[in-house]
Amino acid sequence: MTENSTEKPDASGKHPASYEKHHARGANMAPYDKPAWGSDVMVDVLRGLDLRYVALNPGSSFRGLHDSLVNYGGDDIEMIECPHEKIAVALAHGYAKATGKPMGVILHDLVGLLQGTMGVYYSYIDRTPVLVLGGSGPGEHDRRRPNIDWIHAANVQGEAVRAYTKWDHEPRSLASVQTVLARAYRIAMEEPRGPVYVALDAGLQESPIEEPVPLDDLPRLAAVPSPLAPEPAALRDLAQRLCAARRPVIVPSYAGRDPQSFHTLVELAETVGIGVVETHWRLNFPNRHPLNVTGSTVLEDADCVLFVDVKDMGKPIQKLDSVTRRITSRLAPGTTVLDIGFNDVGISSWSEDYAELLPTDLQVTADTAVALPLLLEECRRLVAEDDEPRAAERQAWRDDLRRRHDEVWAGWRAKAAAKRDEVPVATSRLAEEVWAVVQEHDWVLTAGTAAEWALRTWDFDAPYRHPGRQLGTATQIGISLGVALAHKGSGKLVVDLQPDGDLMFDAGALWVASRYELPLLVVMFNNRAYYNDWEHQERLARQRGTPVARAHIGMAIDTPAPDFAALAKSFGWWAEGPIENPEDIQAAVRRAAEHVQRTGTPALVDVICQPK
């Protein structure tokens, strides 16, 4: 049987025995068991780095590596075929967010790399370790094919992504492949993490091995150095200021990349009495915890704000008038601003993702995975010294935070109740109906939150529930594939609240989920519009006095309205919809969830929703 075989899964969702044998992991299909080609050595290095998966869209510049992965490697590193390079990178991005481990991506020389650049940039912005590999060259001009190897080559191929990768390189000899890939792996995994790019010369891939290439030192070469610890005196100073505050608030961002930090932040908040305002770049704090006061006015009342691994301090503490672009601070004058995180470590001279530089009273540079437990211990010691009036004052702030939490949640419930029976389906109702099914399972939410209504409805009680928010249109379905791949075989129900505009960018991604039997439940948050931009046009129309009724031009995803259920079915998914009656959502989602749990294969429910 070949990859192009027409053999299909049977009624149970299982493939024929010939298919399973062909795709058995670790089955060496080659007629040799020792490296014979340069690309064989490359595969041995990648196996030594413990890569389990590599995503790719086929390309001739890495045909040698491709053959070695399939045959010499014997599927030890499973190949995930993708319909576009950006999807391949996004899949690896999602896998890294969910596992904390990198997977490989292979991009065809230059043109494939350029197709994947948006995915690489998103990975960089979101601090995810992705090992991007490219075929290049051949560097020896006399080995190049006329025309094609020239127009697909660049003098310095890494230049195309150098501004938004942590490092790039192109090994010039087979002996240097080990050290270059080991260094790339280390750099990708050192905090703050990010993508790296290594171009593998086609000539090196396809050259016979003339002498053995020893790889005995690979484990030591690839060992990731210890994380960045805080300066002790600075950390003590920060703890003292935090514990001395009367109304302290924590704003966390990327701390939740370390699952233990989710629990440490809870202990810190409870010990000291601190409100928490989430940013959702990672899941940092349980949303139903009474000290979680996201959505309240607590920042306006705080006398001390501690940022925990935050790149953009401005967004959570500033008010924005979207029409005039006027920004005002939410913090009262004199509020103490503290910060613990990477600060200027790894800052880019090209991308301005570091955002506006805001004044702070004390910044401690450290990896919060190391610093938070130390900060907790210092705060415990300080709080233990409280006299009775101070302990009562601290408790009063805890009680006030609980009141704020309850008020915010009551407000969300009231708003949802007021829109519960509306058609098209209110986004709050969508989140509510999906939650009624999801809570019956051990679940993971991939990237989107349905305009944050999942965060206002569901119970995010464990760090693995959500690897962090999406990064905008054309990021969500690819990231969701990677999250689903990370949880394949775990029994968890992986849920994607999928916007229609995002899926229109990467509709071919649906094939990947079907082909690799990913346990993904997609519920379409389908407002038939690129509504975020539509809303901007409405605001501008009101400001300028132009017709609001014309704001939809160039924004609607309608006439014709895409049939996402039919699209999914064409790729082998179980699918249902479009659903317009809110009373029909829960039953449809339950049927879809049962299919995913029973077969381990994807399902989609298309729901027509209000804009937000």
CATH at 199? 3.40.50.970
Residue 226 domain flag: no
Q: Do 370 and 444 fall into the same domain? A: no
Q: Output the pLDDT for position 3.
A: 33
Is residue 166 in some structural domain? yes
**Same domain flag for 187 and 242:** no
Helix axis angle, 368-383 to 259-272, nearest 10°: 20
CATH number for 355: 3.40.50.1220
Q: Are 528 and 562 found together in one domain?
A: yes
* Helical segments of 419-530, H only: 427-438, 476-486, 500-505, 509-515
| Tally of helices (H runs) and strands (E runs) in the chain | 22, 18
Q: Would you state the pLDDT for residue 145?
A: 84
Query: CB of 354 within 8 A of CB of 311?
Result: yes
The answer to the question of residue 4 being in a domain is no
Secondary structure E strands in 280-367:
304-308, 318-321, 326-329, 336-341, 362-365
For residue 526 the two structure tokens come to 């389908």
Note the pLDDT of residue 32.
Answer: 62
pLDDT of residue 19: 33
**What are the per-10-residue average pLDDT scores of the chain (612 residues)?**
36 38 43 84 96 95 94 93 97 98 95 94 96 88 84 85 96 95 98 97 93 94 96 98 98 97 98 97 98 97 97 89 84 96 91 89 98 98 96 97 98 96 94 98 96 96 96 92 97 96 93 97 88 76 86 81 95 96 97 98 95 74
> How many structural domains compose the chain?
3
Indicate whether 92 belongs to any domain.
Answer: yes
Q: Give domain status of residue 5, yes or no.
A: no
Q: Are residues 592 and 459 in the same domain?
A: yes
Q: How many angstroms from the chain centroid is the CA of residue 409?
A: 27
Contact present, 437 and 233 (Cβ < 8 Å): no
**Domain boundary, last residue among 353, 382, 410:** 410
Cβ(497)–Cβ(454) below 8 Å: yes
Query: How many residues make up the chain in this entry?
Result: 612
The DSSP annotation for 470-497 comes to --STTSHHHHHHHHHHHTTTS--EEEEE
152 with 212, same domain: the answer is yes
Residues 246 and 143 in one domain: no
Tell me, yes or no, whether 1 lies in a domain: no
Note whether 237 and 216 are same-domain residues.
no
Q: Which domain holds residue 503?
A: 419-608
pLDDT at 6 (0 to 100)? 36
Pick from 364, 384, 410: which residue ends a domain? 410
Q: How far is CA 238 from the centre of its chain?
A: 30
> Residue 435 corresponds to which tokens in the numbers above?
């939650």
**DSSP track, 533-579:** HHHHHHHHHHHHT--GGGTTTTTB--SSPP-HHHHHHHTT-EEEEEE
Domain edge (last residue) among 221, 247, 268: 221
Whether 160 and 215 share a structural domain: yes
Q: Is 137 left (phi over 0), alpha (psi -120 to 50) or beta?
A: left
Residue 88 is predicted with a pLDDT of 97
Q: Based on the fold, state whether residues 247 and 215 are members of the same structural domain.
A: no
Q: pLDDT at position 17, please?
A: 39
- How far is residue 124 from each of residues 56, 101, 200, 353, measured CA to CA in Å? 19, 15, 21, 10
Q: Are residues 168 and 24 in the same domain?
A: yes
Whether 605 and 576 have beta carbons less than 8 Å apart is answered as: yes
Q: Are 361 and 237 in contact (CB under 8 A)?
A: no
- Distance between terminal CA atoms of the chain? 48
Angle of helix 585-599 versus helix 427-438 axis, rounded to 10? 40
In sequence order, the β-bridge partners of residue 532 are none
Q: List the one residue out of 439, 443, 427 whose CA is nearest residue 520.
A: 443
For residue 8, being part of any structural domain is answered with no
Residues 146 and 85 in one domain: yes
Tokens of 562: 């895409």
DSSP 71: I
CA distances (Å), 416 to each of 91, 140, 197, 411, 454, in order? 33, 65, 46, 9, 12
Question: How many whole angstroms separate alpha carbon 325 and alpha carbon 473?
Answer: 22
Q: DSSP assignment of 211-239, as one string? A: S----TTHHHHTPPPPPPPPPHHHHHHHH
Write down the pLDDT at residue 31: 53
Q: Is the pTM of this model over 0.85?
A: yes
Would you say residue 61 lies in a domain? Answer: yes
Pair 190, 242 in one domain: no
